[in-house]
């Protein structure tokens, strides 16, 4: 906190009026430029292509994928796990920071939480996309039905469905709750039908002291509740693999390992996003190197944790040397050497060696490289968990290999575009910066004169 | 609720010392169960639909080289890894100890296929067609599976059903050897023996007690209903 | 009450809307109250007994028929040959019936020969075309310029074709089959004075020594012997029969052996004689048997003096101690059984080598004993010399002496091109094919008169070397004919009737089924009157005559000429320098000699040893392949003095490094969508060897060289190439 305030001088946010703060932070909601349209068009086109690929798959059959026996899961599930992991960014980061009262969190809250909602939404699509008969996905929904059958609650996939739904609902609420006061600001600053929409969304927020008090309690409670949900979601995704008999998946370290991996990719994604938003909306004043420094420290810790978990997993397999498991690992190392090396470089070597240094943590370029590479590595990690393992299952006669087809690649790429598009729309229609939160910080950092003494404007802390 | 019990526990013994690897069982299974014909491309992609395969292993080097054949079909595990993972109960256990697959229930998560250590579950990646008049051969006793569903060996459950009806009509149990899946029925060297494991005097139960018996991937604890008998001899390997 | 009415109405409207929407589906259902066709009970299958003609073994089958359609072929448990068991080929006969590319009506050629351009004609037109052609021959008194080419036929169809050709005064009735066991009956004639085929009691033997006899996949009666093999291994309480296989390539049969002796190609006879000498020298032979057959052991030993162990070891390429060990085991473990097979017989010295193997049975006292070898009382084959007959016919065709060729079967694919058959056939002015599918022969024909599929046909099937007593299986139609086809025998009879005179007189029967019934009655020694109808029905129900004839009467008694067998050093086509590798062509497990190639089930069936599907391949020892820079799945060129073929390579640990092998069966120009243009026919590489003037069926005596072409062989295997070596991971 002190570091943060130490950095503020000159034309700092603290020195600006509330109106100007509002203007700046809501600049993203200004009428779209041609660049915005161009970007939206490109992303939309990619999404449309992905939709075409998906429709093609639904209309024909799954032979247009690269899936086979034994590799029955491929890029769809890799993407699913990846996007679930990414969704840990936001809520998790935001909730932890909120609870630990890290004041520097405020400018990035919204961006992170929105990312959670969108990535979990994208993630949630993949299990449905990957079904052989997508049109019967509702068989998984537990409701009294004329089929007289109930889904199987022993199946990790059903846990998945429950966990993901919970997480989508929870993180949306979390995002929405945090956005309430800002929606009110948006309402007050807009007119016409927009105003009516924002009015509905703002639920009549007027900013009274009572409202603020309830709001604060609610958001703290949500923050506390969303953390176990987030942890459980990725644990359950890990259960998809860990509860099976598949050599290489059947591993007790998977749940914590997956959670760490998820946070790793989530934090990295938040950093990437901060850099993008900072650049796109010219928010250099709000997202300072200080923020990157702090996030870099967080990333360093997670990266160390991830490396530890990976080391334990591989080391124990090597030590046990169970023939078929070792077969899986040696196959992975032999066949996928380049991407395995890239994964270790980007997930372990690079972050640990760079993030130890303050100067590098404060370099936007370095942070961008590291954070993007970590997500590349995390994607590879999921690929290496799923594909080589299934390629070398217990029956050597039925070993196989897998390479994604154009349909799978299209859909996976479209997922990124779709995520981007959702984000683009969100940033245009909703305040991407947590205006109220930032202003609250300003208020608190402001000092009031009381006699001779200068006192903080706000002596009461949160809670 | 009444607990479903059955006087039958179907099981199979595969004597590797008798098996010559000829492939008669593979075609018998395909003919009996409306298993789709898969072209070269399909098999190259690893999407062969055979419910029963004969694995061939080479052991040793010339001239001391040997071949081992291992017919692999659904092992109808008592603790089947495919069953708990299916989110919609398409894969289920029936009271006879069979590992059933309800095709119209299956949504195609392929989770069962991943979790089956024997890799005996096959998925309809393709919409299979039988160019007429080849479709005349399709058996009316068995569903023709649509694309997007898993399928696998059923121990020819349609034959078991029929035998049960007939035996039930006569008020008796199914006799030993009365019902046989297509593979066991056709096996020239009688390497496959099918029967009721719950009857200790049945041929299959007696063979299961052979000192040569072992289960495939026994250490996984799936408790298969298929017992293999080790190939004897081969002392010159 | 009101609400209920509303619901009822809604329900009715919905149901009627739904029903009208589904009308199309309903029309396909069999109405419940209106009975469908005669004999059809929906949901209830009927079983009809018949016989399999997918290979000469002639197993008994039961066909499950449901709603008038054949659904499944199973073995007939009453049939003594296959005892309710059936191989992959037999079960696939169903697809022969329902093949989408069957010839549905007679065809007349419109384009040039081999172009595959045909136009459909009526049977009347087709028959009149054939009849007028044959009438022309008769008119000119040149009935002997008619040739009839068939596979080896046994039973009533053989009688019919013989009668037909006799009535023309033509001797050009050729029954040729590449894999025919002529060589075996010839060896029996020379060895025992009985030109028959042996029946091996594999089930009861304790030591089986097979010299290239692949009884599990192709030799004589595979289902029967496969079953016997199972019983030999585990059918007895305390005895597990031991099995040693001799042959340069480990065949499917060899794969089940306890010991494999990869003897040099062409040296098997020497190996057998070396073992015989050792057995004699160490006095391990059966004295009683030798005495009973009047063979002097000392004399024989002297004659075999040239087969001392060191020389045998050198010629065969096998370690001395192994040869001696196997010889001792064979002689000491009684009953034992030695068999000779095609890979031995199809060498230049095959005839003598087969006799050398027979000598082992004599020495160990295996003749006419349980666990040994008996004469089978199946009718004697066409006899030796069918290759010679083929070549003489080819000569006649080539010189233009043959005017009309009636061809039943697919000789264009199954006769080695080195005989000149294909070129000679082109010189025949009028070719009629009876193939039910446009195979390579039908493509060359001027007129195609499609035969019924086996499951639509009447017939009798005499199993090849099936049992010790006479067995005749009957074929009956199990479904109504699918297309406008007619059975081959009916066509011959119709043509004969159309010609009148001698040909008509040759067939006193009204129809083919009548003739069949008549010949069956004759075989049973019964008059073909009304009383026979009941017997006939019973026979059809059971699937044939299984208990006729008395027990075994014949026994084998060796008749030694002045000399024991003396296999000459093997000769090979192709010089060692240019062509360093021996080529073995062997019948594919799925297609036999190629007749199963049209059937998708068989194409999809992984080859048991290579697990290849839908294609051909050449098997190469890993060491040889490494030397040539060839890897699994590479496209290679196999060149022999006759020509070359491009085919993917399979790394095959079970073959001698100086050998390569290509299976028969693929490489069809026609034969429907599943076989056409798939794989190669290795017969195109095979050279025809002669001994003086006499042609030798030495189909395994060609040498080749192999060179790598590219990495794209388009080889598809069902098994993972690396995983196939990792049986350690599954603990077997």
Q: What is the CATH number of the domain that holds B27?
A: 3.30.70.20
What is the distance in angstroms between the Cα of B234 and the nearest Cα belonging to chain A? Answer: 21
Tell me which residue in B66, B231, B233 faces C242 most closely, judged by beta carbons. Answer: B233
Model pLDDT, residue C25: 44
Model pLDDT, residue A448: 66
Model pLDDT, residue C8: 65
- Confidence tier at A105 by pLDDT (50, 70, 90): confident
* Residues contacting C75, CB < 8 A, separation 6+: B185, B186, C59, C60, C61, C62, C82, C83, C84, C85, C86, C90, C223
> Is the pLDDT assigned to residue B34 strictly greater than 70?
yes
A contact chains, 3+ CB pairs < 8 A: B, C
Decide if B125 contacts B175 (C-beta within 8 A).
Answer: no
Residues in B touching C71 (Cβ below 8 Å):
137-140
- Average pLDDT in the C653-669 region? 94
> Is the pLDDT assigned to residue B162 strictly greater than 50?
yes
Question: Is the minimum CB–CB distance between C690 and chain B shorter than 8 Å?
Answer: no
Decide if B99 contacts B10 (C-beta within 8 A).
Answer: no
- Average pLDDT in the C247-251 region? 94
Buried b (16+ CB within 10 A) or exposed e, C63-101: bbbbbebbbbbbbbebbbbbbbbbbbbbbbbbbbbbbbb
- Any idea which fold C581-729 has? Barwin-like endoglucanases (2.40.40)
Structural domain span for residue B82:
10-229
Q: In terms of CATH, what superfamily is C182-375?
A: Dimethylsulfoxide Reductase, domain 2 (3.40.228.10)
Model pLDDT, residue C114: 82
Q: Where are the domains of chain C?
A: 33-98+457-484+532-549, 107-178+383-451+486-507, 182-375, 581-729
- Closest among C557, C434, C541 to C157, alpha carbons compared: C434
Task: Map tokens 């509740």 to a residue.
Answer: A225
CB atoms within 10 A of CB C206: 18
Model pLDDT, residue C552: 58
Provide the sign of the torsion angle of the four alpha carbons C250, C254, C259, C261, taken in this order. Answer: negative
* Residues contacting C24, CB < 8 A, separation 6+: none
Decide if C379 contacts C157 (C-beta within 8 A).
Answer: no
Residue of A nearest to B117 (CA): A394
Question: Is the minimum CB–CB distance between B124 and chain C shorter than 8 Å?
Answer: no
> Is the pLDDT assigned to residue A4 strictly greater than 70?
no
- Average pLDDT in the A264-286 region? 84
Structural domain span for residue A166:
2-456
Q: What is the 3-state secondary structure (H, E, C) of C652-692?
A: CCCECCCEEEEECCCCECCCCCCCECCCCCHHHHCCCEEEC
- Closest among C39, C55, C27 to C596, alpha carbons compared: C55
Q: How far apart are CA C237 and CA C229, in angstroms?
A: 15
Instruction: Give domain status of residue B4, yes or no.
Output: no
Residue of C nearest to B33 (CA): C72
B contact chains, 3+ CB pairs < 8 A: A, C
Least confident of C36-45, C438-447, C706-715: C36-45
Identify which has the larger pLDDT, A434 or A259.
A259
Instruction: Give domain status of residue A362, yes or no.
Output: yes
Tell me which residue in A69, A132, A394 faces B149 most closely, judged by beta carbons. Answer: A132
**Residues C568-623: pLDDT tens digits?**
999 999 888 899 999 999 999 999 889 899 999 999 999 999 999 999 999 999 99
Question: Is the minimum CB–CB distance between B128 and chain A shorter than 8 Å?
Answer: no
Is there a contact between B56 and C72 if contact means CB atoms under 8 Å apart? no
Instruction: Give domain status of residue A260, yes or no.
Output: yes
Residue of B nearest to C217 (CA): B22
- Average pLDDT in the C499-509 region? 81
Mutate to test the interface with A, among C718, C723, C727, C728 (most CBs of A within 10 A): C723
- Closest among C635, C621, C606 to C717, alpha carbons compared: C606
Tokens of residue C177, six digits? 């089959």
- Confidence tier at C380 by pLDDT (50, 70, 90): low
> Is the pLDDT assigned to residue B101 strictly greater than 80?
yes
Tell me which residue in C723, C724, C729 faces A323 most closely, judged by beta carbons. Answer: C729
Residues in A touching B115 (Cβ below 8 Å):
244-246
| Residue C583 three-state SS | strand
Residues in A touching B146 (Cβ below 8 Å):
133
What is the distance in angstroms between the Cα of A141 and the nearest Cα belonging to chain C? Answer: 27
Domains contained in chain B, number: 1
Tell me which residue in A323, A394, A396 faces C720 most closely, judged by beta carbons. Answer: A396
Q: Percent of chain C beyond pLDDT 70? A: 92
CB atoms within 10 A of CB C166: 15
- Inter-axis angle of helices A289-320 and A254-280, to 10 degrees? 150
Question: Is residue C112 classed exposed, middle or buried when 0-12, 13-18 and 19+ CB atoms within 10 A define those classes?
Answer: exposed
Half-sphere exposure of C547 (CA within 13 A, CB side): 4
Residues in A touching C728 (Cβ below 8 Å):
323
Model pLDDT, residue C603: 95
Model pLDDT, residue A16: 60
- Any idea which fold C107-178+383-451+486-507 has? Rossmann fold (3.40.50)
- Confidence tier at C32 by pLDDT (50, 70, 90): low
Helix, strand, coil percentages, rounded to 5, for chain A: 75, 0, 25
Residues in B touching C716 (Cβ below 8 Å):
40, 43-44
Question: Is the minimum CB–CB distance between C732 and chain A shorter than 8 Å?
Answer: no
Residues in A touching B110 (Cβ below 8 Å):
67, 72-73, 130, 132
- Closest among C40, C359, C94, C55 to C215, alpha carbons compared: C55
- Confidence tier at C4 by pLDDT (50, 70, 90): low
Residues in A touching C724 (Cβ below 8 Å):
396-397
Q: How far apart are CA B124 and CA B147, in angstroms?
A: 5
Decide if A113 contacts A143 (C-beta within 8 A).
Answer: no
What is the distance in angstroms between the Cα of C71 and the nearest Cα belonging to chain B? Answer: 5
Q: Give the Cα-Cα-Cα angle C130, C520, C526 (nearest 5 degrees).
A: 135
Tell me which residue in B46, B88, B114 faces A140 most closely, judged by beta carbons. Answer: B88
For the domain spanning C33-98+457-484+532-549, the CATH number is 3.30.200.210
Is there a contact between C613 and B43 if contact means CB atoms under 8 Å apart? yes
- Average pLDDT in the C512-534 region? 86
Is there a contact between C730 and A327 if contact means CB atoms under 8 Å apart? no
Please list the alpha-helical segments (H only) found in A100-202. 109-129, 156-189, 192-202
Task: Map tokens 């049975």 to a residue.
Answer: C361
Decide if C637 contacts C646 (C-beta within 8 A).
Answer: yes
Residue of B nearest to A390 (CA): B114
CB atoms within 10 A of CB C6: 10
Is there a contact between B108 and A395 if contact means CB atoms under 8 Å apart? no
What is the distance in angstroms between the Cα of B156 and the nearest Cα belonging to chain C? Answer: 13
- Closest among B219, B223, B212 to B15, alpha carbons compared: B212
Across all residues in chain C, what is the average pLDDT?
A: 88
Task: Map tokens 């082992």 to a residue.
Answer: C360
Model pLDDT, residue B81: 94
Model pLDDT, residue A290: 84
Residues in C touching B183 (Cβ below 8 Å):
none
Is there a contact between C723 and A397 if contact means CB atoms under 8 Å apart? yes
Instruction: Give domain status of residue A24, yes or no.
Output: yes
Mutate to test the interface with B, among A57, A58, A67, A72 (most CBs of B within 10 A): A72
- Residue A415 sits in a domain whose CATH number is 1.20.1630.10
Instruction: Give domain status of residue A30, yes or no.
Output: yes
Question: Is the minimum CB–CB distance between A321 and chain C shorter than 8 Å?
Answer: no
The pTM of this model reads: 0.91
Residues in C touching A323 (Cβ below 8 Å):
728-729
Is there a contact between B136 and C719 if contact means CB atoms under 8 Å apart? no
- Average pLDDT in the A115-141 region? 91
Instruction: Give domain status of residue A462, yes or no.
Output: no
Model pLDDT, residue C147: 92
Residue of C nearest to B71 (CA): C608
What is the distance in angstroms between the Cα of A397 and the nearest Cα belonging to chain C? Answer: 5
Residue C653: left (phi > 0), alpha (psi -120 to 50), or beta? alpha
Tokens of residue C415, six digits? 């006769």
**Residues C459-489: pLDDT tens digits?**
999 888 878 878 889 999 999 999 999 999 9
- Measure CA of the first residue to CA of the last residue in chain A; give whole Å: 17
Residue of B nearest to A397 (CA): B55
Question: Is the minimum CB–CB distance between A327 and chain C shorter than 8 Å?
Answer: yes
Question: Is the minimum CB–CB distance between C727 and chain A shorter than 8 Å?
Answer: yes
**Residues C161-201: pLDDT tens digits?**
988 888 888 888 888 888 888 888 888 888 888 888 899 99
Across A15-19, C211-215, C508-512, the highest mean pLDDT is recorded for: C211-215
Instruction: Give domain status of residue A463, yes or no.
Output: no
> Is the pLDDT assigned to residue A130 strictly greater than 90?
yes
Instruction: Give domain status of residue B5, yes or no.
Output: no
Q: How far apart are CA A179 and CA A182, in angstroms?
A: 5
Is there a contact between A155 and B48 if contact means CB atoms under 8 Å apart? no
Question: Is residue A459 classed exposed, middle or buried when 0-12, 13-18 and 19+ CB atoms within 10 A define those classes?
Answer: exposed
Tell me which residue in A157, A395, A401 faces B109 most closely, judged by beta carbons. Answer: A157
Please list the alpha-helical segments (H only) found in C333-449. 342-345, 350-363, 386-398, 411-414, 421-426, 440-444
Across B59-73, C152-166, C177-191, the highest mean pLDDT is recorded for: B59-73
Sheet holding C118-120, edge to edge: C118-120, C107-109, C447-448, C430-433, C404-407, C146-150, C173-175
**Residues C390-437: pLDDT tens digits?**
999 999 999 999 999 999 999 999 999 999 999 999 999 999 999 999
> Is the pLDDT assigned to residue C373 strictly greater than 80?
yes
Integer Rg of chain B from CA: 18
Which residues are C175's β-sheet partners?
Answer: C150
Domains contained in chain A, number: 1
Cβ pairs bridging A and B (under 8 Å): 145
Question: Is the minimum CB–CB distance between B39 and chain C shorter than 8 Å?
Answer: yes
Question: Is the minimum CB–CB distance between C723 and chain A shorter than 8 Å?
Answer: yes
Please list the alpha-helical segments (H only) found in C410-529. 411-414, 421-426, 440-444, 488-499, 501-505, 512-524
Is there a contact between C609 and B56 if contact means CB atoms under 8 Å apart? yes
Residues in C touching B21 (Cβ below 8 Å):
252, 255-256, 608-609
Q: How far apart are CA A351 and CA A356, in angstroms?
A: 8
Q: How far apart are CA A238 and CA A240, in angstroms?
A: 5
- Closest among A332, A337, A313, A323 to A396, alpha carbons compared: A323
Task: Map tokens 């009316």 to a residue.
Answer: B140
What is the distance in angstroms between the Cα of C277 and the nearest Cα belonging to chain B? Answer: 24
- Closest among C481, C255, C236 to C370, alpha carbons compared: C236
Q: How far apart are CA A288 and CA A103, in angstroms?
A: 13
What is the distance in angstroms between the Cα of B137 and the nearest Cα belonging to chain A? Answer: 24
Model pLDDT, residue A204: 86
């Amino acid at each position: 906190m002190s570091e943060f305030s130490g950095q503020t001088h000159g034309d700092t946010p603290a020195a600006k009026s509330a109106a100007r703060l509002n203007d700046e932070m809501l600049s993203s909601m200004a009428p779209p430029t041609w660049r915005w349209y161009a970007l939206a068009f490109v992303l939309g086109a990619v999404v449309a292509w992905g939709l075409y690929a998906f429709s093609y798959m639904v209309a024909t059959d799954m032979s247009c994928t690269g899936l086979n026996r034994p590799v029955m899961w491929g890029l769809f599930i890799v993407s699913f796990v990846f996007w679930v992991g990414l969704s840990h960014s936001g809520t998790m980061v935001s909730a932890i920071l909120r609870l630990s009262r890290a004041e520097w969190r405020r400018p990035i809250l919204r961006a992170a939480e929105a990312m959670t909602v969108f990535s979990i939404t994208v993630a949630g699509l993949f299990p449905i996309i990957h079904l052989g008969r997508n049109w019967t996905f509702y068989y998984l929904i537990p409701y009294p039905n004329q089929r007289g059958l109930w889904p199987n609650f022993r199946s990790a996939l059903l846990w998945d469905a429950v966990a993901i739904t919970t997480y989508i609902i929870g993180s949306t609420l979390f995002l929405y709750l945090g956005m309430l006061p800002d929606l009110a600001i948006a309402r007050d600053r807009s007119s016409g039908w927009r105003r009516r929409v924002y009015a509905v969304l703002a639920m009549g927020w007027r900013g009274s002291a009572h409202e603020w008090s309830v709001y604060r309690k609610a958001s703290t409670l949500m923050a506390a509740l969303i953390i176990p949900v987030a942890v459980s979601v990725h644990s359950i995704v890990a259960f998809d693999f860990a509860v099976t008999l598949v050599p290489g998946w059947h591993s007790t370290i998977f749940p914590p390992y997956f959670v760490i991996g998820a946070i790793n990719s989530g934090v990295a994604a938040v950093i990437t996003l901060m850099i993008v938003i900072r650049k796109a909306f010219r928010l250099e004043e709000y997202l300072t190197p200080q923020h990157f420094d702090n996030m870099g420290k967080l990333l360093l810790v997670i990266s160390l944790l991830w490396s530890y978990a990976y080391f334990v997993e591989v080391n124990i397999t090597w030590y046990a040397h169970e023939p078929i498991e070792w077969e899986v690992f040696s196959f992975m190392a032999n066949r996928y050497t380049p991407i395995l090396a890239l994964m270790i470089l980007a997930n372990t070597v690079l972050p640990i060696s760079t993030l130890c240094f303050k100067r590098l943590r404060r370099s936007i370029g370095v942070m961008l490289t590291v954070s993007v590479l970590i997500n590349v590595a995390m994607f590879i990690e999921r690929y290496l968990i799923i594909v080589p393992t299934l390629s070398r299952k217990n029956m050597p006669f039925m070993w196989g290999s897998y390479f994604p087809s154009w349909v799978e690649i299209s859909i996976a790429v479209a997922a990124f575009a779709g995520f981007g598009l959702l984000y683009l729309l969100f940033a245009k229609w909703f305040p991407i910066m947590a205006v109220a939160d930032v202003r609250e910080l300003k208020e608190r950092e402001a000092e009031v004169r009381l006699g001779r003494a200068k006192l903080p404007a706000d002596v009461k802390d949160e809670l | 609720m009444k607990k479903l019990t059955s006087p039958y526990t179907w099981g199979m013994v595969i004597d590797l010392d008798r098996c010559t690897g000829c492939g008669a069982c593979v075609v018998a299974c395909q003919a009996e169960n409306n298993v789709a014909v898969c072209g070269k491309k399909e098999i190259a992609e690893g999407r062969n639909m055979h419910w029963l395969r004969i694995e061939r292993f080479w052991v040793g080097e010339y001239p001391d080289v040997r071949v081992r054949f291992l017919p692999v079909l659904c092992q109808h595990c008592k603790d089947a890894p495919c069953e708990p993972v299916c989110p919609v109960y398409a894969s289920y256990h029936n009271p006879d100890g069979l590992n059933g697959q309800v095709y119209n229930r299956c949504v195609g998560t392929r989770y069962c296929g991943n979790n089956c250590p024997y890799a005996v579950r096959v998925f309809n990646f393709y919409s299979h067609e039988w160019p007429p008049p080849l479709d005349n051969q399709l058996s009316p006793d068995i569903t023709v599976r649509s694309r997007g569903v898993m399928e696998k060996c059923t121990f020819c459950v349609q034959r078991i059903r029929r035998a049960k009806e007939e035996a039930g009509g006569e008020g008796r149990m199914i006799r030993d050897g009365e019902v046989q899946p297509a593979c066991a029925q056709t096996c020239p060297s009688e390497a496959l023996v099918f029967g009721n494991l719950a009857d200790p005097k049945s041929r299959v139960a007696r063979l299961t007690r052979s000192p040569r018996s072992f289960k495939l991937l026994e250490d996984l604890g799936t408790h298969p209903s298929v017992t293999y008998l080790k190939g004897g001899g081969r002392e010159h390997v | 009450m009101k609400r209920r009415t509303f619901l009822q109405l809604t329900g009715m409207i919905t149901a009627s809307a739904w029903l009208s929407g589904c009308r199309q589906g309903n029309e396909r259902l069999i109405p419940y109250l209106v009975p469908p066709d005669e004999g059809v009970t929906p949901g209830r299958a009927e079983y009809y007994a018949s016989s399999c003609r997918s290979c000469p073994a002639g197993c008994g089958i039961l066909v499950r028929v449901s709603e008038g359609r054949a659904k499944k072929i199973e073995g007939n448990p009453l049939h003594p040959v296959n005892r309710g068991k059936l191989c992959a080929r037999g079960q696939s006969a169903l697809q022969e019936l329902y093949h989408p590319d069957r010839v549905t009506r007679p065809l007349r050629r419109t384009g040039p020969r081999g172009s595959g351009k045909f136009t459909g004609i009526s049977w009347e037109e087709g028959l009149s075309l054939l009849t007028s052609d044959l009438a022309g021959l008769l008119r000119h008194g040149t009935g002997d310029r008619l040739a009839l080419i068939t596979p080896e036929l046994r039973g009533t169809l053989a009688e019919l074709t013989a009668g037909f050709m006799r009535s023309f005064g033509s001797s050009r009735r050729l029954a040729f089959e590449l894999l025919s066991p002529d060589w075996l009956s010839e060896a029996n004639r020379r060895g025992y004075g009985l030109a028959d085929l042996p029946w091996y009691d594999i089930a009861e033997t304790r030591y089986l020594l097979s010299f290239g006899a692949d009884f599990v996949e192709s030799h004589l009666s595979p289902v029967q012997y496969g079953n016997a093999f199972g019983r030999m291994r585990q059918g007895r309480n305390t005895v597990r029969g031991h099995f040693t296989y001799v042959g340069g390539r480990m065949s499917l049969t060899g794969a089940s052996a306890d010991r494999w002796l990869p003897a040099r190609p062409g040296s098997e006879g020497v190996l057998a004689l070396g073992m015989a000498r050792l057995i004699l020298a160490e006095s391990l032979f059966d004295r009683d048997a030798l005495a009973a057959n009047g063979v002097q052991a000392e004399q024989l030993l002297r004659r075999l003096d040239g087969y001392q162990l060191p020389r045998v070891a050198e010629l065969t390429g096998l370690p001395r101690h192994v040869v001696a060990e196997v010889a001792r085991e064979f002689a000491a473990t009684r009953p034992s059984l030695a068999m000779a097979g095609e890979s031995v017989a199809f060498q230049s010295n095959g005839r003598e080598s087969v006799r050398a193997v027979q000598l082992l049975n004599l020495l160990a006292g295996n003749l006419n004993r349980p666990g040994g070898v008996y004469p089978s009382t199946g009718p004697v084959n066409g006899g030796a010399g069918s290759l010679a007959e083929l070549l003489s016919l080819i000569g006649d065709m080539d010189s233009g002496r043959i005017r009309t060729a009636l061809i039943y079967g697919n000789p264009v694919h199954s006769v080695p091109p080195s005989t000149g058959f294909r070129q000679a056939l082109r010189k025949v002015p009028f070719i009629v094919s009876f193939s039910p599918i446009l195979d390579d022969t039908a493509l060359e024909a001027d007129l195609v008169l499609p035969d019924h599929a086996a499951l639509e046909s009447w017939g009798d099937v005499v199993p090849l070397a099936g049992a010790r007593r006479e067995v005749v299986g009957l074929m009956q139609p199990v479904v109504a004919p699918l297309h406008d086809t007619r059975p081959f025998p009916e066509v011959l009879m119709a043509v004969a009737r159309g010609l009148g005179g001698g040909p008509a007189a040759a067939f006193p029967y009204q129809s083919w089924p009548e003739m069949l019934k008549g010949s069956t009655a004759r075989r049973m020694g019964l008059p073909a009157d009304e009383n026979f109808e009941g017997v006939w029905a019973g026979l059809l129900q059971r699937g044939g005559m299984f208990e006729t004839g008395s027990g075994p009467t014949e026994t084998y008694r060796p008749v030694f000429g002045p000399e024991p067998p003396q296999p000459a050093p093997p000769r090979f086509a192709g010089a060692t320098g240019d062509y360093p590798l021996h080529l073995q062509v062997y019948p594919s497990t799925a297609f036999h000699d190629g007749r199963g190639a049209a059937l998708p089930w068989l194409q999809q069936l992984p080859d048991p040893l290579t697990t290849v599907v839908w294609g051909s391949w050449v098997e190469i020892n890993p060491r040889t392949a490494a030397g040539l820079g060839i890897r699994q799945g590479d496209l290679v060129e196999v060149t022999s003095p006759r020509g070359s073929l491009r085919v993917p390579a399979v790394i095959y640990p079970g073959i001698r490094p100086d050998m390569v092998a290509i299976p028969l069966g693929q490489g069809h120009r026609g034969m429907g969508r599943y076989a056409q243009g798939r794989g190669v026919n290795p017969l195109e590489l095979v050279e025809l060897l002669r001994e003086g003037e006499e042609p030798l069926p030495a189909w395994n005596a060609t040498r080749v060289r192999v060179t790598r072409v590219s990495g794209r062989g388009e080889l598809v295997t069902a098994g993972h190439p690396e995983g196939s070596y990792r049986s350690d991971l599954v603990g077997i």
